[in-house]
Amino acid sequence: MITTTTRQHTLRDHLPGRHTARAASSVEHQAMLASRLTTRDKWLLALLHEHRVLTSFQIQDAAFPSGRSARQRIRDLYLWRAVSRFQPFQQLGSAPMHYVLGPAGAAVLAAEHGIEVKDLGYRHDRAMAIAHNQRLAHTVGVNDFFTSLIARTRHSRADDALVAWWSESRCARHFGDLVIPDGYGRWRTRHPGSTREVEWFLEFDTGTESLTKVGRKLAGYARLAESTGIATPVLVWLPTTRREAGARTALARVHAGLDDPHTVPVATAAADLLAPASPHPSPAEAVWLPLTSARIGRAGPRYSLADLADAWPRLAPPAGPGTEDGEGGGAVAASPYRLPPPSPIPPQATPNRIARGEH
């Protein structure tokens, strides 16, 4: 029998140590953040704004040396309402914590670029709505693809780097009248005396979409190549090699029917090809199988991301200085009320402050 009752205001009280929504929007709170947010923190906020949601593991891969340091810093950002979080339901075990841009973080980004929060297109309820979106798993999967490449950039001894990463929404603003890729990326490899780059549009398959529909997307990429005069490879990432085999059959049928198949270079790869023993498995490994008439129906050599351009001798190197105006198959300038895409290369961590009197 219940002998005591809980007061209603206690049920809706904020978490201990976390600022209320009203306090987080105050001038005093913004002044406090000015003295505590590092360059890496602001970069992470920009990444969340661009790509909607990142898990705790993806944040660690992108910017932190260990899980402990990632958890400690992201907890601070959460308490300051720079980020918000949720944990999706999972049938077995528990899902990692998922993070989105918080209201205080949006205010910081807007102030940094001299615009109003409304001009970011940001609303906290919309940011949190991704928690119930049917495409949550797809969005997280796409972001996992790219954050694993960032981790490869950070930990690889070779001079390889992911130098561009556009979200699906940014791709839609630029190419949406023809095709909407799941993402756009550019990989740079430096060797003594030479630098090579390869760019691509990503099609991320979770295994739930019809393979026929996957193949039909190539017609949109062909129209894009025709309108821009730029051939940009399309990389199709699939969950298993069995799924990949079926997808290649569907893709080959459509690809062969294009007016000029050479304008739409295609390669496929499967997640189960990644070496499980690798400390930082990523799509940069030799898992890519180009879709060419010489290899349809039989096994062929798989290429690493850095060497993938060798599979298409007629492919011109990416043009542009690495900015939004010159990337992605003829992209146009973004709206002045949208932020530029954040660099996928994280800034260096800020050293701990030295206490006064220490040397």
Average the pLDDT over each of 11-15, 225-229, 319-323 and give the range with the smallest value: 11-15
Higher pLDDT, 40 or 11: 40
Is a pLDDT exceeding 70 seen at residue 71?
Answer: yes
What is the tens place of the pLDDT at every residue in 239-288?
Answer: 999 999 999 999 999 999 999 999 999 999 999 999 877 778 999 999 99
Report pLDDT for 55. Answer: 98
Listed in order, the ranges of the chain carrying CATH 1.10.10.10 are 21-133
Give the confidence band of 11 by pLDDT, cuts at 50, 70, 90. very low
pLDDT at 320 (0 to 100): 63
**204, containing H or E segment:** strand 194-204
Task: Kindly list the strands in the beta sheet with 98-101, ordered across the sheet, starting from the edge strand earlier in the chain.
Answer: 54-55, 98-101, 83-86
Q: How far apart are CA 330 and CA 103, in angstroms?
A: 34
* pLDDT(335) > 60: no
Instruction: Determine how many CB atoms are found less than 10 A away from the CB of residue 342.
Output: 19
Mean per-residue pLDDT for 46-71? 96
99: helix, strand or coil: strand
**Residue 106 DSSP SS3:** helix
Structure confidence by residue, pLDDT tens digits, 168-188? 999 999 999 999 999 999 999
Amino acid identity, position 211: L
pLDDT tops 60 at residue 355? no
Contacts (Cβ under 8 Å, ≥6 apart) of 291: 248, 251, 252, 255, 265, 266, 267, 268
Residue 299 has pLDDT above 80, yes or no: no
**Architecture of the domain defined by 21-133:** Orthogonal Bundle (1.10)
Read off the pLDDT band of 157 (50, 70, 90): low
Look at 30-34, 86-90, 237-241, 279-283 and tell me which has the smallest mean pLDDT: 279-283
Residue 107, token pair as written in the block:
């205010």
CA distances 25 to 31, 102, 117, 151, 156, Å, are: 11, 11, 11, 33, 40
Do 33 and 82 meet the contact criterion of CB atoms below 8 Å apart?
yes
